[in-house]
Chains A and B, each alone.
Chain A
Amino acid sequence: APCPTPCRCDGDGGADCSGKGLPAVPAGLSAFTYYLDISMNNITELPASVFRNLPYLEELRLAGNDLAFIHPEALSGLQHLKVLMLQNNQLKTVPSKALKGLHALQSLRLDANHITVVPEDSFEGLLQLRHLWLDDNSLMEVPVAPLSNLPSLQALTLALNRISHIPDSAFANLSSLVVLHLHNNKIKEIGEHCFNGLENLETLDLNYNNLLEFPEAIKALPNLKELGFHSNNIAVIPDGAFSQNPLLRAIHLYDNPLSFVGSTAFRNLSELHSLIVRGASMVLRFPDLNGTENLESLTLTGTKIDTIPASLCEDLKLLRTLDLSYNEIEELPSFQGCTKLEEITLQHNRIKGIQADVFRGLASLRLLDLSRNQIRSIHKDAFMSLTSLTNLDLSSNALLTLPTSGLGGLNQLKLAGNMDMKGSLSAKDLQKLRTLSVPYAYQCCAFGGCDAYLNTNPDQGSKSDGSRKKIMYSPGEEVCEGSVAEDEGERIQLAVHCSPPTGAFKPCEHLLGSWM
């Protein structure tokens, strides 16, 4: 079969003439060509009937040329064309006349042009069109009339345009639409019924716009699974916000100046696995999550919430991570029902004490951050069940002592900032510790602080020149191995990074003898 220079033909109807600096569509292609790639050339216009000899063409790639004009008859005869790629060109309007006869067209790319006008008859006759790209153009409004001719359309992007408003019934006839991208526009307000007719829509992307109010119009979307409106200017998420969207799996709402979230906003979302609400500073009550039972990750920070409902773990049995930091929580309920919890973050609240049953049954808990609260007392059995706990942060509280039963598996413990805690810690209860921060340097001594250890074990660890051996030393943290046998490469006691480090001015031995 003929294959004009400089194209490459695969002998099976495919012709690749891309990136050859061609000024025009090459002539002399086989009549049986079904795939033609002439992208990334220098073609500025398509004259009439330029593809008349290619009646079997199914895919035509013209992306990345300098197309500014397409003759109304340019694509005539292409009855079998399914895919037409015109992205990255210089078109200022949709070539509506040229598209008219393409009855088999399924995918049409017009993205990254300079389209400001979409003639009303633009997509007439394209009854098979499923995917339409109009993103990265200069549209000032949603092309409502042209979009009303597309009964088979399933995926549409109008992202990266200059759309500022969505009128009611903008997409009324798009009953097959599944995905709608409107991100990176200038959408400030939307009609309360603007999404009417989209009963099959599953993904709606409104990210990076200027929305001032919560998009109530989503109530018309019973099949919505993923909703994004992050990076807007929304201050309030009302009660019942998602009551008509029971299938929601993901809601992206960060980077909004949220000040209020209705307590019933997130009820009955049984498909939701993760919920992140940060900085809703006027929220007073914990949201009602009844019916949102498959939540695995909950982040709710920066509010005025002072109480966690006792029923939390009845509703959220599958919870794995819970971040309630930067609220005003004073008291903790029992998390007993949340047996899958792996991480709890409660830093920067007003918690005063930890009862025996708060963490009971949490055998999977690895990380517990209770730093920057006002905790004075912890029940001696509070950590008993935490067999998987490796990371405990109790820094900046008001503790006098620390109950260590149940903490045998810890490898990181932070107690700095508990200035009333003056007693020493028992190293034998914390065998696997690697990193420790304590209120006072001398409390490091029990964990292998250089002076203390070497004084009680003079024969170990000194080099022949008498200087002390420091195995690892990083600024602000002194690490001494209890006993080093470097020649044999064997380590008996593993290192503990303990801070603040002991030293000349913070000796383990005070004038009247050992602190221990």
Chain B
Amino acid sequence: EVPPSCSRGCELCSEYNGCLKCLPRLFILLERNDIRQTGVCLASCPVGYFGVRNPDMNKCTKCKIDNCEACFSRNFCTKCKEGLYLHRGRCYSSCPDGFTTPNGTMECTS
């Protein structure tokens, strides 16, 4: 039985830091409020984060790919920032040689 004070999907929480441990298979996202970090449990990570699943903990991790808005993993982008082209998981100002963008999409294809 999850303590009533914990937020949805949370198994263990504290008043100061929100959720410390999520229910199995949910992702924990650490939100920063000034100097405080607050844990939140999610079924999918917000834009700009990707979910890393491990046997003991699932965590939302920031995409660290240049000019990337949404990503599949640490080194594979699924959506680039405005005006940039997506090619094999990376963002470019123009498509590499031999690749173009069909009918107005922002993804390079051969």
Residues of A within 8 A of B (CB): 19, 39-40, 61, 63-64, 85, 87-88, 107, 109, 111-112, 130-131, 135-136, 154-155, 157, 159-160, 178-179, 181, 184, 200, 202-203, 226
Cross-chain contact A111 with B53 (CB below 8 angstroms): yes
B28 within 8 A of A: no
Cross-chain contact B73 with A181 (CB below 8 angstroms): yes
Q: How long is the Cα–Cα vector from A310 to B13 in the complex, in angstroms? A: 58
Q: How long is the Cα–Cα vector from A202 to B43 in the complex, in angstroms? A: 28
The 3 A-B residue pairs with the shortest CB-CB distance, nearest first, are A64-B43, A63-B43, A112-B25
Q: Which of B51-69 contact A (CB under 8 A)?
A: 51, 53-55
B14 within 8 A of A: no
Q: How long is the Cα–Cα vector from A160 to B56 in the complex, in angstroms? A: 11
Collect the chain A residues with CB atoms within 8 Å of residue B78's CB.
107, 130-131, 155
Q: Which of B6-61 contact A (CB under 8 A)?
A: 8-9, 25-26, 43-44, 51, 53-55
Across the two chains, which residue of chain B brings its CB closest to A152? B109
Q: How long is the Cα–Cα vector from A147 to B12 in the complex, in angstroms? A: 39
Known A-B contacts A88-B25, A179-B89; the reply to A203 vs B73 at CB < 8 A is yes
Residues of A contacting B: mostly: loop
A-B contact count (CB 8 A): 66
Cross-chain contact B53 with A112 (CB below 8 angstroms): yes
Q: How long is the Cα–Cα vector from A242 to B30 in the complex, in angstroms? A: 38
B76 within 8 A of A: yes
B90 CB, nearest partner CB in chain A, Å: 9
B28 CB, nearest partner CB in chain A, Å: 13
Collect the chain B residues with CB atoms within 8 Å of residue A202's CB.
75, 88-89
Collect the chain A residues with CB atoms within 8 Å of residue B99's CB.
none
Known A-B contacts A154-B88, A178-B88; the reply to A203 vs B75 at CB < 8 A is yes
Chain B, interface residues (CB within 8 Å), range: 10 to 19
Residues of B contacting A: mostly: loop
Which of the residues B25, B43, B44, B76 comes within 8 Å of A154, measured between beta carbons? B76
Cross-chain contact A88 with B43 (CB below 8 angstroms): yes
Collect the chain B residues with CB atoms within 8 Å of residue A160's CB.
53-55
Across the two chains, which residue of chain A brings its CB closest to B88? A178
Collect the chain B residues with CB atoms within 8 Å of residue A63's CB.
43-44
Q: How long is the Cα–Cα vector from A181 to B74 in the complex, in angstroms? A: 12
B7 CB, nearest partner CB in chain A, Å: 10
Cross-chain contact A87 with B75 (CB below 8 angstroms): no
Q: How long is the Cα–Cα vector from A130 to B88 in the complex, in angstroms? A: 10
Q: How long is the Cα–Cα vector from A210 to B8 in the complex, in angstroms? A: 36
Across the two chains, which residue of chain B brings its CB closest to A83? B78
Across the two chains, which residue of chain A brings its CB closest to B55? A184
| A to B CB contacts below 8 Å, 14 in the list | A64-B26, A64-B43, A88-B43, A111-B53, A112-B25, A154-B76, A159-B53, A179-B72, A179-B73, A179-B76, A184-B53, A202-B88, A202-B89, A203-B73
Q: How long is the Cα–Cα vector from A101 to B51 in the complex, in angstroms? A: 28
Across the two chains, which residue of chain B brings its CB closest to A156? B72
Across the two chains, which residue of chain A brings its CB closest to B72? A155
Collect the chain A residues with CB atoms within 8 Å of residue B89's CB.
154-155, 178-179, 202
Across the two chains, which residue of chain B brings its CB closest to A40? B43
Collect the chain B residues with CB atoms within 8 Å of residue A40's CB.
8-9, 43
Which of the residues B44, B53, B55 comes within 8 Å of A39, measured between beta carbons? B44
Q: How long is the Cα–Cα vector from A135 to B52 in the complex, in angstroms? A: 10
Cross-chain contact A87 with B8 (CB below 8 angstroms): no
A152 CB, nearest partner CB in chain B, Å: 9
A501 CB, nearest partner CB in chain B, Å: 40
Cross-chain contact A155 with B9 (CB below 8 angstroms): no
| Most interface-central of B53, B55, B73 (chain A CB within 10 A) | B53
